[in-house]
Structure 1
Amino acid sequence: MAQQQPKPADPRLKIYRETPAKINDLIHTKLDVRFDYKKAYMYGKEWVTLKPHFYPTDTLRLDAKGMDIKTIAVVKNGKNTPLKFTYDSLSIAIKLDKVYRNNENYTIYIDYTAKPNELKAKGSAAITDAKGLYFINPEGKEKDKPTQIWTQGETEASSAWFPTIDKPSQKTTEEISITVPAKYVTLSNGRLSAQKANADGTRTDTWKQELPHSPYLFMMAVGDFKIYKDKWKNKEVNYYLEPKYAPYAKEIFGFTPEAIQFYSTKLGVDYPWVKYSQIVVRDYVSGAMENTSATLHGEYVQSTPRELIDAYYSQGRSTIVHELFHQWFGDYVTAESWSNLTVNESFADFSETMWAEYKYGKDEGGAHIYDDLQNYLSNPDAKTKDLVRFHYKDKEEVFDVVTYQKGGCILYMLRNYLGEDAFYKGLGIYLKTNAFKNGEAHQLRLALEEASGRDLNWFFNQWYFGAGHPVLDISYKWDEATKTQTVYVNQTQDGDPFILPIAVDVYAGGKKERHKVWLRNKADTLTFAVASKPNLVNVDGDKILAAKKTDKKTLEEFAFQYANAPLYRDRLEAIEAAAPAQGDKNAQKIILAALKDKYYGLRIEAIQAVNMTNDEVRNAAQPVLQSIARSDENTLARAAAISVLGKLKASGQLNLFKEALKNQSYAVQGAALNAIGQIDPAEALKLAKGFEADNKGALTQALIGIYSTSGSDAEWPFVYGKYSELGPQAQFNALQKFADLVGRVQKPEYAQQGINEIKELGVRFKQYVGDYVKGMLNSIKTKREALKDDASAKVADDAIKAIDAK
């Protein structure tokens, strides 16, 4: 067999991504903008004030992507003197009127037109989905979609709507006057300083951001929004929502002032900006964005009270606090370069765990950080990437599971090592020292060292400037003769060992004794003198390590761990060890105990793990599951129990399921409808009709499933309409049942609607699900041929080819 040649490394990975040199510094940016909705143009006038950073200069380069540049002039004594410039569609090189020194400010006037929809990527500029400025339904032609304008600056897309030095290392104050049809609301950074009604039916709003921030954090939004006014201390806290969601503003965002107070207290730095607004827009290109004093959210955070019943600490709520924390870590002190993005995003990620612990309890925090760890560990490429990354192909790649989830786990470890008080004191020092400036990992280290008095070079070298994680193999030996407990910890990852300060808890004789130890070697042997054989040795007793581990405990030891060790991860490890071994009495003990765990997330883990094919387990679990299904305080646990009971297909449970249909939770209703469908499909089909008017989330998925299994052409318009509205993950989850219905509807036009919807999913996400989607389309093709519907079979064949061609 011929030897496979190694894939050549991408040459871009060899480029050192230095912080761009500062030749000129931004000082103040004043903008006057208006819009052409039909053309999707923005007409802008800009007055940008700068000064040389250190060395004298007679040149200025500004980033300006895809614009028409009409005039560039220097402003002196109120007069504009035109300047010579060259423009290559990405940046403007301007010849100044003289040599300026770093004690001299100068102001440049620019008259320009931004054309975001005509923006094309050129050369190495990765701006295909970075238009900066977005016109949503600008002419109002799309039914049920509002007309909006909004911006998205990160990473370097603000320069698609105003010329600037588009680097995070720059900071500038800002004033923006926005002229819009008078019926619309505007939002931007800072305070609304003036509103002026114009004779032509427009209104000009002027916003002033009087504290400096980076250009990528500039924002504006325009549209029909209702404003709910809240406050924190004497500062405005406002929520901008579409009118139909405005009644639920308090339910969606109402905890924001409490979160501002919590973070202000923890950090020792009060919320620094003049106001805090949050706005929800349509068709947003990411999850959310922490624009200074004005966070922009995608529409998924908009929820009705019924949806919020099932939310708990959902993505929406965790995103709200994530973006809020950026107002300190990201906006107040900003990463000096994208290589140092960790000082923005790792902190925002970690803040989600901080809020979970504070608001929902230690178990919720433990679950959140554990999910972070699993997200990182499940990505095989992540272990090759440093947290502070000076080599990358494209800056967008730094926004990944290393910067976010692994970075959050590293801060979780660091807080544990330093202790709560020293850790947060250090964060306060970092923020105060670098206020309204830029920061990087070294400054974070110095601040934490100042607070704690401890050297942290070893920690930062391995976790910030190195890659990977420990892979631990842990085994145990008890020597009865010498009353010695030995623990063997082997680090099996490639490369050098990690230095790991951890706690080892030894449970024996009804007591727990804690030992603080340092692991420093590829193979460490720990010995403990104990009066009697321990019931449990719990390595990493605080469950803080960002590590993958194989822990060779017995099921008896895991049962003791579940009952006695206090943390979320202690109990989860026991449930995971027990799940595949439910023939064992200790495993059964763990699973049955976990069905009644105090934390709903672990109850759900146990519900989903319980082996109902084992008579002994089923007989013990069934009454507990019925109790959970009827009355658990957590709707997601109730839904999970109903789903498990439904798979038993026992007609005796029908009344329980029908009762659950009266619950206000969409999750409970969806699970109940599916469970009825397992026992009596015809009854489920009949009952489903009653939920067509009001359904979201799990209930919508259940309706699609019931109709796809038992319905016909009569149900197609509903199924197709709902399926096409689902997000990509939900569409994938419902794909098999949807494809079944597409295969058997009588009308060819219905089949072809469904085929095209499935094709879009396969084309958009070919890398992840392309082959699976093609398999579904092949199955549909076969079924359409059997129905003598050759036209639809050809559409399915063309769809497969379209996925292959992408």
Structure 2
Amino acid sequence: MKTFYAAVIIGSISACALSTAVAQTAPPAEDPAMKIYRETTPKINDLVHTKLDVRFDYKKRYMYGKEWVTLKPHFYATDSLRLDAQGMDIKNVSIVKAGKNIPLKFTYDSLTINIKLDKVYYNTENYTIYIDYTSKPNELKAQGSAAITDAKGLYFINPDGTEKDKPTQIWTQGETQSSSAWFPTIDKPNQKTTDEIRMTVPKKYVTLSNGRLASQRVNTDGTRTDTWIMDLPHSPYLFMMAVGDFKITKDTWKGKEVSYYLEPKYAPYAKDIFGFTPEVIDFYSKTLGVDYPWNKYSQIVVRDYVSGAMENTTATLHGDYVQATKRELIDAYYSQGRSTIVHELFHQWFGDYVTAESWSNLTVNESFADFSETLWAEHKYGKDAGDAHINDDRQQYLSQPNLKTKDLVRFHYKDKEEVFDAVTYQKGGSILYMLRNYLGNAAFYKGLNIYLKTNAFKNGEAHQLRLAMEEASGRDLNWFFNQWYFGAGHPILGITYKWDDATKTQTVYLNQTQDGNVFTLPLAIDVYAGGKKDRRMFWMRNKVDSLVFHSATKPSLVNVDGDKMLLVKKTDNKSLDEFVFQYFNAPLYLDRFEAITAAAKQQTNAGARKVIIAALNDKYYELQIKAIKAADMTNDDVRNAAQPILINLAQTDPNTLVRAAAITVLGKLKASGNTNLFKAALKSQSYAVQGAALSALGLLNPAEAVALAKTYEKDSEGALTQAILNVYTTGGTDAQYDYVYNAFAEGAPQTQFSIMPKFADFTGRVKDPAQAQKGIKAIADFGVKYKKYGIGPQVVQILTGIKTSRAKLNDTASVAAIDKAVAELQ
């Protein structure tokens, strides 16, 4: 699963508000739930085969199900069975004997069915239970989480067709333990079962489930019954169904079906969105030495999904954010949507083929899927792209200090949903990146091959991963797994340098300042001296350590962690001259990133300016953009050198995001001589370029920009829409207010917060009091909705600013509305 954390989303929107809230909140009391050891669920009965026959009541939002579930005792004999079944009506529980259903005694507490079997069964015997039930997901009181915002299991989307421009759909979401909201099962990841799902649906709709579509039967009542069969075992949380008006685009990989299910509007762009999938399947299959293990691979896009995406076996489900036109994809590059596509695909091996035996060991699912994003990036787009992606992962983890006490494999948590965090994802992916570097690619991928083949169609945990890597490499890895998998935190490393010219010795001082245990760190240290690079390997095993070596001349650069692999919060006390040398001589993305960061702070220095100007044409576009944004255009020397380069980039760079960044910086100069450049950029097919150009024109001539923006309203997305909003909120009148209001009211949380300050200014000055009150209510509603994330004080401050403006306009009704809203937020 690729998660979109609700708390993180709001945190990125309002880091200030969150930090303030944290500062004002007393440390929480110790939670007794954190003392509970979360053991792997004992296996009393094993699932063998699950057969479902379901039909849907769109009006009631019910699913009527019949189930035949075959099981066997795991080891010890038993005369009882417990099945998870959340919020259902259970009408019949029977054992199937000679084709007949013999009723059994059972109790049901709305969460589990406890069944008394007809006799004692041994682990040499299978038995089949029949259950007639009704699933009522909309009546289920299920608690979601920041990662997975709802846990109903089964979702009816616009079932009555009353929501304009929204299709009618049904889909399921099983992770973590929500499949038992739509069929009774042992809803634990250490169970595996084959399955058959028979869905009866209106014949106008398409269905999708795991495995192969075995048959379709048209019924006399206007429905159709589709039967899907999954011949290979997988865990219950990976079961899926989807029903709706989808158009299917077919592709293949080695004779296996690869298919894309999209809303009809986006079907023409199916290959643009998903068409690289066979290439990724081929790359992962060759890299892992295990061919894609299932009979087909489908990807489906649904509305109102409760997280990012879900790796259901053979049938990944995506949220609608991945749907885009060919034109929208111009600016995508390795965007969140594309990285999610490869993330979910890698799960078909790590998560589906071999599944974490418990949520405590979720790392063997999600850390690998996170790592796979970097793996694909470096294969498809080059090493800089891979290094940039993994560095983003590191920073996302390191920026959340509350995570430093959490182990990667954690057997203590309040709720299983908490394990879906940046420790499991971004930290875990970064740890695998380090492990690959330490072992070398060949040994690392051989280890993955051993792990997959040894545990195929079964469950795995971190210890099995360690054993596979040790078998492949011949190295003991207990030290690595103990500190990174079964320990918490990360090194905080200070690095200082001393050159002694008299003795021709260079000393490197290393100091770990984190609380708690010292980390063992294998370090590659590159020494650049006399026009040559010499690599020295060093193991840091103490909190304070040092390396001393001789050099004929003073090194131009000593580059600690020369491969830029460590997950570490680092303070590297190099001089500016050393960072300048690093930019032009050290080869990696992070070498250049660090140098640009250092140079950006000292642009009065000639060396720093040389780095910034050179980086405008860096070989990797993200570093170009970093330099473009960092260039201090108030410095005459920087501006004189940078401006002609920026003009060239704005007009000719093949990367649309670089072009847009250059236009944005040129726009801030407010130089009328660039007007024609900006107007020419408005003709681009890139929304990013158009948006930057419109914003730049808005700085030169707000009234003209408002008129231009009007012509783009009906054909705008992304950055262009944002630019229209900026132009309107800055220079618009009442005539443009509804456009801004609708964008705010209908926008995602990030969109809402990003435009809220300017929307508030617009609301404060709009002439029509009714318009103002409409805007005030929208802002207040946002504050109430996300108050639990600590943004209430910020929203109150914004509303107070509107109140001041409305009071100057003698708008007493709006002032009263604000007073009421503020009272609700406090």
Match of 2:434, SS? helix
Q: CA 1:348–1:148 in 2, change beyond 3 Å: closer, same or farther?
A: same
Which residue is 1:435 aligned to? 456
Residue of 789, 792, 795 corresponding to 2:814: 792
1:733-752: CA deviations, max 9, x gaps?
11111111222223333223
Residue of 170, 173, 180 corresponding to 1:152: 173
Which residue is 1:736 aligned to? 757
Match of 1:134, SS? strand
In the alignment, the residues of structure 1 paired with residue 316 and residue 44 of structure 2 have an alpha-carbon distance, to the nearest angstrom, of: 31
Q: CA 1:7–1:228 in 2, change beyond 3 Å: closer, same or farther?
A: closer
Which residue is 1:503 aligned to? 524
In the alignment, the residues of structure 2 paired with residue 232 and residue 460 of structure 1 have an alpha-carbon distance, to the nearest angstrom, of: 36
Residue of 465, 469, 488 corresponding to 2:486: 465
1:617 correspondence with 2:620: no
Displacement after TM superposition at 1:5 (Å)? 8.6
Map 1:40-439 to 2 at 5 A: 40-121=61-142, 129-439=150-460
Displacement after TM superposition at 1:678 (Å)? 0.8
Which residue is 2:780 aligned to? 759
Q: Which runs of 5+ in 1 are unaligned?
A: none
Displacement after TM superposition at 1:128 (Å)? 8.2
In the alignment, the residues of structure 2 paired with residue 177 and residue 519 of structure 1 have an alpha-carbon distance, to the nearest angstrom, of: 59
Letter aligned with residue 692 of structure 2: A
Match of 1:415, SS? helix
Displacement after TM superposition at 1:122 (Å)? 9.0
Match of 2:511, SS? strand
Residue of 800, 805, 810 corresponding to 1:778: 800
1:261-298: CA deviations, max 9, x gaps?
00000000000011000000000000000000000000
Match of 1:305, SS? coil
Alpha-carbon RMSD across the aligned residues, in angstroms, is 1.5
Asked if the contact 1:120–1:128 (Cα under 8 Å) also holds between the matched residues in 2, the reply is no
Asked if the contact 1:673–1:684 (Cα under 8 Å) also holds between the matched residues in 2, the reply is yes
Map 1:597-676 to 2 at 5 A: 597-676=618-697
Which residue is 2:505 aligned to? 484
Displacement after TM superposition at 1:6 (Å)? 6.1
Which residue is 2:766 aligned to? 745
Letter aligned with residue 248 of structure 1: Y
Asked if the contact 1:121–1:128 (Cα under 8 Å) also holds between the matched residues in 2, the reply is no
Displacement after TM superposition at 1:502 (Å)? 1.7
In the alignment, the residues of structure 2 paired with residue 729 and residue 128 of structure 1 have an alpha-carbon distance, to the nearest angstrom, of: 16
Displacement after TM superposition at 1:123 (Å)? 14
Letter aligned with residue 550 of structure 2: A
Displacement after TM superposition at 1:793 (Å)? 2.7
Q: CA 1:148–1:123 in 2, change beyond 3 Å: closer, same or farther?
A: closer
1:14 correspondence with 2:35: yes
In the alignment, the residues of structure 2 paired with residue 477 and residue 572 of structure 1 have an alpha-carbon distance, to the nearest angstrom, of: 24
Q: Flag as ranges the 4+ runs of structure 1 deviating above 6 A.
A: none
In the alignment, the residues of structure 1 paired with residue 553 and residue 70 of structure 2 have an alpha-carbon distance, to the nearest angstrom, of: 75
Q: CA 1:315–1:106 in 2, change beyond 3 Å: closer, same or farther?
A: same
Match of 1:601, SS? helix
Asked if the contact 2:149–2:306 (Cα under 8 Å) also holds between the matched residues in 1, the reply is no
Residue of 604, 607, 619 corresponding to 1:583: 604
Match of 1:692, SS? helix
In the alignment, the residues of structure 1 paired with residue 85 and residue 321 of structure 2 have an alpha-carbon distance, to the nearest angstrom, of: 32
Which residue is 1:537 aligned to? 558
In the alignment, the residues of structure 2 paired with residue 113 and residue 610 of structure 1 have an alpha-carbon distance, to the nearest angstrom, of: 63
How high is the TM-score relative to the length of structure 2? 0.95
In the alignment, the residues of structure 2 paired with residue 95 and residue 785 of structure 1 have an alpha-carbon distance, to the nearest angstrom, of: 72
How high is the TM-score relative to the length of structure 1? 0.98
In the alignment, the residues of structure 2 paired with residue 214 and residue 797 of structure 1 have an alpha-carbon distance, to the nearest angstrom, of: 53
In the alignment, the residues of structure 2 paired with residue 121 and residue 310 of structure 1 have an alpha-carbon distance, to the nearest angstrom, of: 38
Letter aligned with residue 88 of structure 1: D
645-654 vs 16-25, greater mean Cα deviation: 645-654
Q: CA 1:5–1:307 in 2, change beyond 3 Å: closer, same or farther?
A: closer
1:706-749: CA deviations, max 9, x gaps?
11111122112222222333221122111111111222223333
Displacement after TM superposition at 1:7 (Å)? 4.2
1:801 correspondence with 2:823: yes
Asked if the contact 2:148–2:306 (Cα under 8 Å) also holds between the matched residues in 1, the reply is no
Q: CA 1:522–1:127 in 2, change beyond 3 Å: closer, same or farther?
A: closer
Which residue is 1:520 aligned to? 541
In the alignment, the residues of structure 2 paired with residue 5 and residue 115 of structure 1 have an alpha-carbon distance, to the nearest angstrom, of: 40
Map 1:538-553 to 2 at 5 A: 538-553=559-574
Displacement after TM superposition at 1:219 (Å)? 0.4
1:160-179: CA deviations, max 9, x gaps?
00000000000000100001
Letter aligned with residue 539 of structure 1: V
1:456-486: CA deviations, max 9, x gaps?
0000000000000011100111111222111
In the alignment, the residues of structure 1 paired with residue 405 and residue 218 of structure 2 have an alpha-carbon distance, to the nearest angstrom, of: 57
Asked if the contact 1:503–1:515 (Cα under 8 Å) also holds between the matched residues in 2, the reply is yes
Q: CA 1:801–1:208 in 2, change beyond 3 Å: closer, same or farther?
A: farther
In the alignment, the residues of structure 1 paired with residue 752 and residue 572 of structure 2 have an alpha-carbon distance, to the nearest angstrom, of: 38
Map 1:551-570 to 2 at 5 A: 551-570=572-591
Match of 1:26, SS? strand
Match of 1:700, SS? helix
1:670-691: CA deviations, max 9, x gaps?
1111111111101111111110
Asked if the contact 2:179–2:237 (Cα under 8 Å) also holds between the matched residues in 1, the reply is yes
Letter aligned with residue 501 of structure 1: P
> Which structure would you say has the larger RCO, counting Cα contacts within 8 Å and 6 or more residues apart?
2
Q: Report how many aligned residue pairs link the two structures.
A: 800
Match of 1:19, SS? coil
Displacement after TM superposition at 1:785 (Å)? 3.0
In the alignment, the residues of structure 1 paired with residue 745 and residue 252 of structure 2 have an alpha-carbon distance, to the nearest angstrom, of: 39
Which residue is 2:14 aligned to? none
In the alignment, the residues of structure 2 paired with residue 796 and residue 218 of structure 1 have an alpha-carbon distance, to the nearest angstrom, of: 48
In the alignment, the residues of structure 2 paired with residue 395 and residue 771 of structure 1 have an alpha-carbon distance, to the nearest angstrom, of: 31
In the alignment, the residues of structure 1 paired with residue 99 and residue 823 of structure 2 have an alpha-carbon distance, to the nearest angstrom, of: 63
In the alignment, the residues of structure 1 paired with residue 670 and residue 579 of structure 2 have an alpha-carbon distance, to the nearest angstrom, of: 33
Asked if the contact 1:121–1:127 (Cα under 8 Å) also holds between the matched residues in 2, the reply is no
Asked if the contact 2:447–2:471 (Cα under 8 Å) also holds between the matched residues in 1, the reply is yes
Letter aligned with residue 514 of structure 2: Q
Percent identity between the aligned chains? 74
Q: CA 1:283–1:56 in 2, change beyond 3 Å: closer, same or farther?
A: same
In the alignment, the residues of structure 2 paired with residue 390 and residue 116 of structure 1 have an alpha-carbon distance, to the nearest angstrom, of: 30
